[in-house]
Amino acid sequence: MCPTSDILNDVASKSAQSELYTPVPPCYKLGQCKYVVVLGTVISGLGKGIFSSSAAKLLKDKGFRVSPIKLEGYLNIDSGTLNPYRHGEVFVLDDGMETDMDLGTYERMLDQNLSSLSFITSGQIFTSVLEKERRGRYQGRDVQMIPHVTGEVKLRLRELAMATSADIVFVEIGGTVGDVENSFLIEAVRELALEEGPNSTCFVSLTYILEPQALGEQKSKAAQLGLRSLMALGIQPHIIACRGKSPATDTVKQKISIYANVPMERVFSMHDTQSIYYVPAMIRENKIDTEILKLLNLQDRVNHDLERNQWENWCNFTQKIVSPQKEIDIAITGKYITVRDSYASILKAIEHCGAHLHTKFNLNWIDTTEVTNQNVAEKLKGMHGVIVPGGFGIRGTEGKIACIQYARENKLPYLGLCYGFQMAVIEFARNVCKLHGAGSTEIDPKCEHPVIDRLPSQYDLKGLGGNMRLGGHDIELVPGTLAAKLYNGTTARLRFRHRYEVHPKYIQQLTENGMIFSGKAPGEPIMQILELADHPFFMGTQAHPEFTSRPLNPDPLFCHFAQAAILHRG
């Protein structure tokens, strides 16, 4: 019987003296899994993750087992220490892996939880190779980018395929083809295609079509040069997605087809649309999903009954996005508002609720560094609800507290997420419990009343990376509370990413004054959900419910907040 350990048996010793270094998991057979590799040219941020997750969804709906993986060229071990201004939101998987926002797109589009196997960085690859070298696994060979580093990348892809029993693995390589840090990743997938054999790998290139305003026409030269760079690296794309604000013209597609040796039916326009949830329809209408199956020789394995049912459900969801019956104004009061990707999952959770409730939510971005007790009423004028999202650090905290106080006192629906939960506790302690000087030791280590403090287990940890309360954790819900009603039971599982908690010694005083801690960590005095009884909707959670909201299954906290905002509007 085949071994099934998570850490694959190292096979380096078997091929240490061979230039054809091809590490594979136990029982893995070359060609048994298919791969779709998605790369970008011209510029980054084209939507490789959106295309990849949309195509993967279409193939999953046809009955195939799909597993996505994101390869990042940066040397960080994970995304946990990245500034939101530089890389957008940090998305957290159930197993605690801190990833970039594309993993959230995959989870939402595929409606499946991913693991750390689906997120690989150069830092992880190099660390693994060097550790093996120190243990003598390469039997004295000089360790090189080829074949050892590229071999490690291929091993990780095959590891995911085996661990998830995938029919098709979707491989997204971050950045662009021209990035130096991506060169060994691209070389690895080139080798992978050769080793896996014919009809094993489909290469998809997203390329940007320029449309200078002064010229008034689309230009494809930059796209052509980007494709030349890809082909110079030994990869012939099978499918090309033309990204741009407007639909790519036939002339542009014809030029790219000729230049890149790609048939016209595999060159399609993936232009901007109202929602990313329309991209599956765009791919389907151009029959790109069918072309992928032809290239992988899988067209005879489609479950047509499942496909029809799944597509009908998806179309019912997307139709609701474009036909709202009402409009609601929501304030998002944060400090990273200049980069919307910093709150990507929140935006999607709101979009899910909007479709579910046939409502368009107009989002008003309020920079809390500019909010004071004197101007908060003006800043929140006309809003039907307030969300205070997660964050770290001192900047903008007093503005958040002012917004929370206004929402509490004026019965404005409020939802606090992680940091928004902590700030709600501070506001309540100051203004209801009369604990003047109440604060967080993150903001002021010497505050008079540290109602928010680090967990005892956090004091012994050093450094920043991976030392928070991370990933999925069960929450024990208090019967009879709104939280228990929303999650329909006495337990819920949500995801976390924080270091600071409600200090246990203040819990009794807060509850005696009316704060209800309706969710806590099982067996521990760690408060995780709060609510107020004398308010239309005032809830906060240490968790990030936006991470587990799905298009066809919106998160209950967000949905009830949205319903309260609709009622507030009247």
What amino acid positions are annotated as catalytic residues? 418, 544, 546
Q: Is 327 helix (H, G, I), strand (E, B) or coil?
A: strand
Whole-angstrom distance, CA of residue 69 vs CA of residue 568 = 42
149 DSSP assignment:
I
Going by C-alpha positions, the residue among 52, 114, 112, 58 that lies closest to residue 550 is 112
Strands (DSSP E) found in 20-126: 34-40, 66-72, 90-92, 98-100, 119-121
Whole-angstrom distance, CA of residue 316 vs CA of residue 240 = 29
* Number of Cα atoms under 13 Å in the Cβ half of residue 445: 1
The answer to whether the Cα torsion of 443, 448, 451, 453 is positive or negative is: positive
Cβ neighbors of 539 (< 8 A, separation 6 or more) are 414, 415, 416, 482, 483, 529, 530, 531, 557, 560, 561
Whole-angstrom distance, CA of residue 15 vs CA of residue 114 = 31
Q: Angle 534-364-345 (CA atoms, 0-180°, nearest 5)?
A: 85
Whole-angstrom distance, CA of residue 385 vs CA of residue 107 = 27
- 515 - beta bridge partners? 532
Cβ neighbors of 463 (< 8 A, separation 6 or more) are none
Phi, psi of 519 (to 5 degrees): -145, 135
Whole-angstrom distance, CA of residue 214 vs CA of residue 174 = 31
89 DSSP assignment:
P
Q: Angle 39-41-46 (CA atoms, 0-180°, nearest 5)?
A: 75
Whole-angstrom distance, CA of residue 394 vs CA of residue 402 = 14
Whole-angstrom distance, CA of residue 487 vs CA of residue 472 = 15
DSSP string, 260-295: HT--GGGEEEEE--S-GGGHHHHHHHTTHHHHHHHH
